[in-house]
Structure 1
Amino acid sequence: MKLRNVLAGILLGGALAITGIVAPLPGNHEVAQAKWSQSRADHVISVGKRYLGTPYKFGSPSSTTRTFDCSSFVQRVYKVAVNKSLPRTSRAQATVGQTVSKSNLKKGDLIFFKASPTTKSKRITHVAIYAGNNKLLHTYGKPGVTFSTFKGTSWEKRVVTAKRVL
């Protein structure tokens, strides 16, 4: 197989397009793709950690890193870590990516929440990054950018949806 065809296949997400026919690359490409995604997710969390303790301010503009609200934090982290442009608000961010269930969360997934565990409304009011190991990386109120426990807490009871954007 010519190198040009292999490179074209890599650029097309791991599939070779030869005169309209798409075929998977031979070998362990699926394993390599999984490691690549894990690497990106790890980098997202690493970049997010740089901002631990940064104060929360509702409506904080995207242009600053002195303060964040939940969606400007997620927007900044994804742009810096993986050059992924996300919309500005949590509700708009919830329209991007592939929907995943709580039981299939992976590091780097975005989780969207409603205001209260008891409200019937599904109106999204908050977004966090799933950091793995039952932790959320996000910002709110007094702690600012922080890690929070997810399962068995109010956060888990408030989930509206989750999205995979990596």
Structure 2
Amino acid sequence: MTHKVIKSAFKPVLLFVALFAFAVAAYSAATSASADSSDPAYSKVYNEAKKHLGSRYVYGAVGPTNFDCSGFTKYVYKKSIQKSIPRTAQAQYNGTKKVSKSNVQKGDLVYFGGSKHSISHVGMYIGNGRMIDSQNRGVITENVYSPWWHVVGFSRPTTLSYDD
């Protein structure tokens, strides 16, 4: 009998916790969506990157129809906001302002490889643990934290705001 009383007493608590978690998730999604609409520079970069989804990966290619990873990020920044960044993934990492994982923002670059001195891939962070990148399957949107990627750092090529 006591077990049933305890079990039924927890139902309202569990319901409250579930509703609270749902409310927090909804609020987080709403504030993240509103950040896109209030940030015209990020919107330009993101919209340019999205135009190329499905483009073929070709080693050494810098666009506008075929890309390698760093050719893609270089092309997107130059075409969308006239920001010139270095050509290779390692040079992009070396030549841009580093940011921590906890401070990464949409439009920042995310780097992969063996270490910060051995970078082999770059993608553009688009929020919610996702990126747009050019890799062997072409230009796609995918998870940053996938088993086949080893994140070694993040950088901010430019501040994407009204102040640019």
Structure 2 Cα separation of the partners of residues 35 and 58 of structure 1 = 31
CA RMSD, 1 decimal? 2.3
Match of 2:8? Answer: none
Match of 2:147? Answer: 154
Q: Which amino acid aligns with 2:135?
A: Y
Q: Which amino acid aligns with 1:106?
A: Q
What fraction of aligned residue pairs are identical, expressed as a percent? 36
Structure 2 Cα separation of the partners of residues 35 and 149 of structure 1 = 19
SS, match of residue 107 in structure 1:
coil
Q: Write the deviation string for residues 39-85 of structure 1: whole angstroms up to 9, x where unpaired.
A: 2122211110000000001111x3x4221000110010000111001
Q: How does 1:1-166 map to 2 (within 5 A)?
A: 38-60=39-61, 62=62, 64-114=63-113, 122-142=117-137, 144-151=138-145, 153-154=146-147, 158-166=150-158
Residue 35 of structure 1: CA displacement?
8.9
TM-score normalised according to structure 2 size = 0.68
Larger of the two Rg values belongs to structure:
2
Residue 37 of structure 1: CA displacement?
8.9
Q: Write the deviation string for residues 99-127 of structure 1: whole angstroms up to 9, x where unpaired.
A: 1111211000011110xxxx568400000
SS, match of residue 45 in structure 1:
helix
Contact 2:36–2:43, Cα closer than 8 Å, also in 1: no
Residue 36 of structure 1: CA displacement?
10
Q: Name structure 2 gaps, 5 residues minimum.
A: 1-34, 159-164
Q: Write the deviation string for residues 121-153 of structure 1: whole angstroms up to 9, x where unpaired.
A: 8400000000112211101002x00100124x2
Q: Name structure 1 gaps, 5 residues minimum.
A: 1-33
Structure 2 Cα separation of the partners of residues 109 and 41 of structure 1 = 10
Structure 2 Cα separation of the partners of residues 113 and 97 of structure 1 = 15
Structure 2 Cα separation of the partners of residues 165 and 36 of structure 1 = 20
Contact 2:37–2:43, Cα closer than 8 Å, also in 1: no
Q: Which amino acid aligns with 2:154?
A: A
More helix by share: 2
Structure 2 Cα separation of the partners of residues 35 and 92 of structure 1 = 28
Residue 87 of structure 1: CA displacement?
1.1
Q: 1:122 to 1:53 in 2, by over 3 A?
A: same
Structure 1 Cα separation of the partners of residues 96 and 37 of structure 2 = 17
TM-score normalised according to structure 1 size = 0.67
